[in-house]
Amino acid sequence: MRWLTRIGWLLLLVGLLPVISILVASAISALAGCNVNEGIITPCVIGGTDYGETLAYLFTFGWMIFFTLPLVIIGAALLLIRLVQSLLARRRSGG
């Protein structure tokens, strides 16, 4: 049943990639002192190179959560099922 846990974590991770992209874009822009949003591409110069467009695309990728949310739900359900199975097995074994 370890495969159930692995599939659950994989689905959860893939489903949360849009949220992770928002967090990464926000963190990079905050460290660089830039303002990034999905509406307007603003310049964000880091080390002499403008990453404003890349950060804006990363930030906009967050809207994909509406498509990946079912993966998050399925992954969380699989992990919950595995947790319940593990607790029941532990209870039956007396430990």
- Residue 39, pLDDT > 90, answer no
Which has the closest alpha carbon to 15: 72, 63, 59, 66?
72
Mean pLDDT of 35-51: 89
Query: How does residue 93 score in pLDDT terms, banded at 50, 70 and 90?
Result: confident
- Residue 95, pLDDT > 70, answer no
Residues 6+ apart with CB under 8 A from 74: 11, 15
Model's pTM, two decimal places?
Answer: 0.78
* Dihedral (CA of 87, 16, 73, 4) sign: negative
**Contact of 41 with 56, CB cutoff 8 Å:** yes
- Residue 1, pLDDT > 70, answer no
* pLDDT tens figures, 61-87: 989 999 999 999 999 999 999 999 989
pLDDT at residue 57, as a whole number:
92
